[in-house]
Structure 1
Amino acid sequence: MPLSMHPPKAYLNHAGASLMPPAVRQAMVDHLARDSLLGGYTAAAAMAPELDAVYTDSAQLMGCDADEVALTTGHASGWREVVGSMHFEAGDRILVARSEWGGNYAALTHIAQRTGARVEVIPCTADGTLCLTQLAQMMDARVRLISLTWLPANGGLIQPAQQVGALARAAGVPYVLDAAQALGQLPVDVRALGCDVLTAPGRKWLRGPRGTGLLYVRRDFMSQLKPRTVDQYTAPYRDGAYHLRADAKRFETSEACMAARLGLGVAIRQTLAMGVETIQAKVRERAECMRHALSAIEGVQLQDLGTERSPLVAFTVKGMPASVVRAHLMTHGVDVAVNGLSFTPLDMAARGLHDVVRASAHTDTRDEEIEALVTALTHLATKP
């Protein structure tokens, strides 16, 4: 193994991209070998039952039906396809929380600039949670979309997604839920959440390969969405015309990496086998262990919001850019993430933060990995 491929002493960036379990990697390697022997189409046909099972297992994970599931290349691709299929006009209102993911906010801002719609920020409470009372007061006939990032990228906040769903249903407002940091480590039931759309990548808490993702679209909401483009897969030709698919696969394309999909399927099955509640408890315990240890280091400031905390642990070191902190940690074999202003621009600006360091553990994170983080940070924070 080349030196550059040696694993870090402590991998604490599971919220960015988890380390794939061996069975996930093996499923992909096996299919690449199958591809090379049989050709892509014959190899995919040979694995048709396993590929179909990715949809049924995904539906079980999210609490929906298989025809409401599309496989994507990540959160952004599914989110853009659906929101891009919605119609907006001048004067329409799009509501977001202060902690909205920067990619979503950029896309919504672009839509507003193009159509004359307005993006409005839902006021939040002192701990960063969106204010449900004020959200209810904002509802009127001009609201065309509520877009919510359930677990924001820059810290421990968990937004009240189910309560937002209840308000959206009562008002008849479409509700798109970004579950990128939730799916795989929080129980997800789209019926209870009341969302019309839910998106997530496979590379985070599901521990699947990068370039995969899940998209849920509520069946009764499907008819309101007209994809920007179609192909022979999403709109099959019959009786002299192209007919848009009635299921969520209308948001896929005719081309996909089958090896990656099979790897995602293994990751989802492993998640279901372990149990999301079990994963949630283990990940939460690891995160609280990190928070407790980091809070005792002079010069280290936790930057988490919320009351019930997610496993995304955000912090800063006094007087040091997050990039410098990460570089120091990497020299000690500790891999973490840096979240800049573009990740959550509204919240970061409101709190006067330019960037934060983010550490995130998974179920198999060892005590020694957390100790390595704490030791390296202690050395850094006590430097002159």
Structure 2
Amino acid sequence: MFPAAVSVTSLDDMIDMTRALADTPGAADRVFLNSAGSSLPPTPVLDEVVGHLRREAAIGGYEAAGERADDLEAGYGVFAELLGCRPDQIAFTDSATRSWFAAFDAVPLTAGDRVLVGEVEYAGNAIPLLMRAEAVGATVEVVPSDADGTFSADALDAMLDERVKLVSVVHVPTNGGVVADVRRISDAAHAAGALVLLDACQAVGQLAVDAGALDVDILTGTGRKWLRGPRGTGFLAVRDRAAAVLKPKAADLHGATWTGTETYELRTDARVYELWECDIASRLGLITAARYLLDLGQEAVEETVTARAAHLRAGLSEIPGVTLHDLGARKSGLVTFSVADRSAEEVKAGLAAQDVAVSVSARSSTYLDMSRRGLTQIVRASPHYFVTEKQLDKAVAEVALLAR
């Protein structure tokens, strides 16, 4: 069941699997294929979070945070290295949603302005886009997809004009394996004077993501998915082009300084989007997860995840009654499929009974793309590098049994 162009040896050589499996005990007795939902944190991340919570219980939260002030500050440099930007362009939040909201709310939008989105736009972005556009008299317009299932270059060029203030791009959609050609979209948007907001929620941790090389203005992401960090963590990168025009809607005593009875000064770096109160233990865990990824090597992780997904797709494609739903010439670690005469929820439950964890992607999450393709629900499998090929073959075998 191996893809023809990929050998077993080359797959195993990409990542130190001995280390990966030792650091992921939760993957030993089950086939975990839900890193696109919430992955299994490696042991160093778990130890960091639990250890800090114990320290807080021993000496107090303020005191424990004070002991780790240098490590917390170093985290901005860690994420700058991870995302290809400067430390002053990094902010930490409690989720990808919070990161996206904070940045989007700061984008100046008025009546007559236009925002462009792709057909794979995520509901968590689309709903606030539509709400704000309705409130200010702007419009949200959909760029048709090309054969790959992402922004059509010709359609994007035709729709761009001086009224387009923002292009919202999903790097990897929640309901399929396609990887957007982000740099092509950025170049076109910038030529028209628009900002580019990249939702990298499903990208960071499985793909090598460089905000500078992609030339995006704003990048948002989460810790809980492919990065293998704790839940309740997020990050935001705001590059210079965006920082010059964004107008933060709210700040507290961390994002600003109260300078007089009726005056205040906003921070000039990305931390203006942070709040003073945060989960210190989880943030330390998030930073540890980023260090862990950098130590493994982003390119090695990307190669491994891509190969794992290709292996899984190859196996599923051989099963009568199974239909794959991934689009694009370049595919990511998300593998989506359906089984004839079974709902996606039935497949998920059947696999769970055999210790294979997958998730379900519903039309409401990516309404435009799923409606365009006539899909209501699909099964989503997302194998990370710690999933072995033997486990993938077990998953394929269990799907085959359900498909009979």
TM-score by length of 2: 0.91
TM-aligned CA deviation for residue 138 of structure 1: 1.1
Q: Assess if the C-alpha contact under 8 Å between 2:217 and 2:238 holds in 1.
A: yes
SS at match of 1:314: strand
Distance 2:119 2:192 in 1: 21
Runs of 4+ in 1 over 3 A off after TM superposition: 5-8
Pairing 1:321-360 to 2, within 5 Å after superposition: 321-360=343-382
Residue of structure 1 in register with 2:304 after alignment: 282
In the alignment, structure 1 residue 194 sits paired with structure 2 residue 215: yes
Deviates more, 1:94-103 or 1:370-379: 370-379
SS at match of 1:365: coil
Distance 2:214 2:128 in 1: 23
TM-aligned CA deviation for residue 244 of structure 1: 0.7
Residue of structure 2 in register with 1:107 after alignment: 128
Match for residue 211 of structure 1 among 232, 244, 255: 232
In the alignment, structure 1 residue 273 sits paired with structure 2 residue 295: yes
Distance 2:376 2:117 in 1: 21
Match for residue 140 of structure 1 among 154, 158, 161: 161
Amino acid at match of 1:251: Y
Q: Assess if the C-alpha contact under 8 Å between 1:94 and 1:146 holds in 2.
A: yes
Pairing 1:310-329 to 2, within 5 Å after superposition: 310-329=332-351
Residue of structure 2 in register with 1:127 after alignment: 148
Measured at CA, do residues 325 and 227 of structure 1 come closer, stay the same or move farther in structure 2, by a change above 3 Å? Answer: same
In the alignment, structure 1 residue 238 sits paired with structure 2 residue 259: yes
TM-aligned CA deviation for residue 8 of structure 1: 5.7
TM-aligned CA deviation for residue 6 of structure 1: 10
Q: Assess if the C-alpha contact under 8 Å between 1:199 and 1:215 holds in 2.
A: yes
Amino acid at match of 1:302: L
SS at match of 1:71: strand
Distance 1:329 1:284 in 2: 22
Q: Assess if the C-alpha contact under 8 Å between 1:169 and 1:194 holds in 2.
A: no
Residue of structure 2 in register with 1:41 after alignment: 62
Match for residue 75 of structure 1 among 96, 100, 117: 96
* 1:182-206 deviation digits (Å, cap 9, x = unpaired): 1122122211211110001011111
Match for residue 325 of structure 2 among 289, 292, 303: 303
Q: Assess if the C-alpha contact under 8 Å between 2:334 and 2:382 holds in 1.
A: yes
In the alignment, structure 1 residue 14 sits paired with structure 2 residue 38: no
Pairing 1:367-382 to 2, within 5 Å after superposition: 367-382=389-404
Distance 2:298 2:40 in 1: 17
Residue of structure 2 in register with 1:256 after alignment: 278
Identity %: 42
Deviates more, 1:365-374 or 1:56-65: 365-374
* 1:334-361 deviation digits (Å, cap 9, x = unpaired): 1101000121110000000001100011
TM-score by length of 1: 0.96
TM-aligned CA deviation for residue 367 of structure 1: 2.2
Distance 2:127 2:28 in 1: 34
Q: Assess if the C-alpha contact under 8 Å between 1:95 and 1:147 holds in 2.
A: yes
Match for residue 54 of structure 1 among 57, 60, 75: 75
* 1:87-123 deviation digits (Å, cap 9, x = unpaired): 2222211100101111111111111221221111112
* 1:10-51 deviation digits (Å, cap 9, x = unpaired): 110011111000000000111011111111111101001111
Distance 2:130 2:258 in 1: 35
TM-aligned CA deviation for residue 239 of structure 1: 5.1
Residue of structure 1 in register with 2:187 after alignment: 166
Amino acid at match of 2:266: L
Unmatched segments (≥5 aa) in structure 1: none
Pairing 1:224-235 to 2, within 5 Å after superposition: 224-235=245-256
Measured at CA, do residues 208 and 6 of structure 1 come closer, stay the same or move farther in structure 2, by a change above 3 Å? Answer: closer
Q: Assess if the C-alpha contact under 8 Å between 2:162 and 2:193 holds in 1.
A: no
TM-aligned CA deviation for residue 168 of structure 1: 1.7
